[in-house]
Amino acid sequence: MTDADKTAAELHELMFYVQRCIRYHMRRTAFFMRWGRFTAFVGVIFGSAAVTALLANAPSFFVTVSALLVTLASATDLVVGTGQRAWLHNDLRKRYLDIEAEVLACASPVPEDLMRKLKSQIRRIEADEPPTLPALELLARDDVIRSLYTKEEAAAYLCKLSWFKRTTAHWFDWDTSNA
């Protein structure tokens, strides 16, 4: 393998990693934005005077459940900090996009000093990242594979996560060693 081949392979690995991180943080941002909107919706609907008036004649169970829903949704949103987390992941995504743009703007082959600089920038971003969720990382990896390869070529590289792990990837730190 020549030096040019090694540099090309290193660049491909770096770009794949950056694109996976972009998609990972895009998924996290979207998840926290949806979660925040849902809790706001629950608070507005079940906390509104109209619904309260409608439930006034309902059995006490419905009134209690309605109040409990608003309390749980609001408390969860407050404790988890969905808005702050959405902004954090969006900021991390933008920082990875800056790295991708820098590589795309560079003439080929990428100079060794630029590769070192980019890797250093990536490490600084990683220092600001919260712990990652392995199942979600695999889903982001699959997104990148689908974007780079044809459907037939991609099929050989896609991970095999169960539907349950895919669905709950944002909530649980799944063991993905067999995926």
- Choose among 19, 107, 37: nearest CA to 73: 37
| pLDDT at res. 16 | 97
Burial class (CB in 10 A: 0-12, 13-18, 19+), 156: exposed
Q: pLDDT tens across 84-121, in order?
A: 999 999 999 999 999 999 999 987 788 889 999 999 99
| In the block, residue with structure tokens 């709950």 | 168
Res. 65 pLDDT band, cuts 50 70 90: confident
CA atoms within 13 A on the CB side of 113: 0
- Under 8 Å between Cβ of 11 and 110: yes
In Å, what is the CA distance from 179 to each residue of 61, 69, 81, 107, 172? Answer: 44, 36, 31, 37, 15
CB atoms within 10 A of CB 113: 8
- Under 8 Å between Cβ of 25 and 87: no
- Asked if pLDDT for residue 55 goes beyond 70, the answer is no
CB atoms within 10 A of CB 37: 11
| pLDDT at res. 53 | 64
Mean pLDDT, the chain, integer = 90
Domain ranges of the chain: 3-130, 132-179
| pLDDT at res. 49 | 58
Least confident of 49-58, 63-72, 165-174: 49-58
- Under 8 Å between Cβ of 90 and 82: no
- Choose among 116, 84, 80: nearest CA to 99: 116
pTM of the model: 0.88
**Helical (H) or strand (E) element with 66:** helix 60-80
